[in-house]
Amino acid sequence: MSRYLHNMTTLFPSGVSRSRRRGLILVLSVMAVLNGCSSSYGDLDDWIKETKERTKGQIGALPVVKTYDAFTYAAKDLRDPFTPYQEEPVETKQSEGGPRPGWVREALEQFPLDSLSFVGTLEKNGVQWGLIQGPDQTIYRVQVGNHLGKNFGEIVSINERAVLLKELIPNGSGGWVAREASLALPE
């Protein structure tokens, strides 16, 4: 370092004091360092400037706010939807013709028909039995004459592919209408 300072001192005239020379050397060194820190990112600056000019964003219009329409609940006299449903007992009165339900409800009548699955058949002592799986994963054994489903379904025949039944649906005027339904063995 001292040799470097000695070479630098030869650049200054002899009339300049040593402390002044050191000060000038210090100033020149600082200027050289600062010159080295100048921005050499001209291409990056150009890209940023170009990108800012290209992407002029615009804010879209605000969405239209829909007005609130008041709703009056008019079903206050109907059954509370949050209380468990209590099925009404089966009416056994004679209607003006047509079939009518009139038996004690069986275990499979507590489930909707679409929640029951026909899983197979069984023959015992010459009697054909159908095997029905309920939503509780229990297998029930049924035969012709048994009832299942919420619509008073009575089994009319059982074969290897399906259980055929007749359901009784209220017709709205106090009578009943018979409808055919079936539970098929899944493929």
Nearest to 90 by CA among 150, 20, 14: 150
Per-residue pLDDT reduced to its tens digit, 89-117: 444 444 455 555 666 778 888 888 889 99
Per-residue pLDDT reduced to its tens digit, 26-45: 888 887 777 665 556 778 88
Using 50, 70 and 90 to split pLDDT, how confident is the model at 165?
A: very high
Judged against a pLDDT cut of 80, whether residue 8 lies above it is answered with no
Judged against a pLDDT cut of 50, whether residue 18 lies above it is answered with yes
Residues 6+ apart with CB under 8 A from 6: none
Q: What is the pLDDT, as a whole number, of residue 90?
A: 47
Complete domains list, the chain, with CATH: 1-28 (no CATH), 107-184 (2.30.30.830)
